[in-house]
Structure 1
Amino acid sequence: MNWTTCAAALAYVSTHRHSRWALAVAATPRHLFVPRWWEHGSDGWELHDGPSDPDRWLDAAYRDTSLVTRVGPLHADYATEADRPHG
C-alpha cells in the first residue's frame, strides 16, 4: 500500500473537490504523525505500532476517523506492550 494513494482517497471522501483543503489533505503524510496508537478491543486497550505493521498503519492513519494516542496519562508513544491503561 502506498501512502499517497491512501491520502488521495481520504481527500476524496473527506473534502469537497473544490475545497482549498483537498490538495493539502492529499499531500500530507498523516501516518508520520501517529506512529503508535491505541484501539479498544475485547481485552481493553490494545497498543498498535505502525512501523511493525505498515498495512494496518496506513489503513488506520488514512481513515476518516480519530486515532486514540493517549489513554489516561499514558501516551502511546511511551507505552509498552505490557501496559494496560484504563480510561
Structure 2
Amino acid sequence: GHLEDIPAGADDWDITVRGAGKLARTLHDNFSDALLFRRIATIEYDAPTIADVDELEWRGPLPELVDLAASVDAPGLAERATRIAAARNVR
C-alpha cells in the first residue's frame, strides 16, 4: 500500500485499529512529514555520483553560504568558513 491510499477519516478505514481517530488526525496533521521521510528513506539509483574521491575535497565556502547562514540565524558562519579556507590554503 501507499500513504496516499489511507483514507483521511478513520470511519472510512476497512480495518479496526485501537485509537483510530487519534491516529487518523496525527497522520493528517503530519502527512507532509510522512511523505518527506518516505522520500529520505528511498534509494534513488539514478542519483548523481562522483567519478573520483578528489571531487569530495572541500574547496572553501560557496557564495550561497551567506544566504544559508542568514536563514538559520548564523551570520558569522560564512566569514568563519572563509577564514578556515584561507588558513588551510584551500584551492
Do they superpose with TM above 0.5? no
Structure with the bigger RCO (C-alpha within 8 Å, sep 6+) is 1
TM interval, short-chain normalised: under 0.3
Which structure's residues are more often strand, by fraction? Answer: 1
Query: Highest Rg: 1 or 2?
Result: 2
- Structure-1-length-normalised TM-score: 0.24
Which structure's residues are more often helix, by fraction? Answer: 2
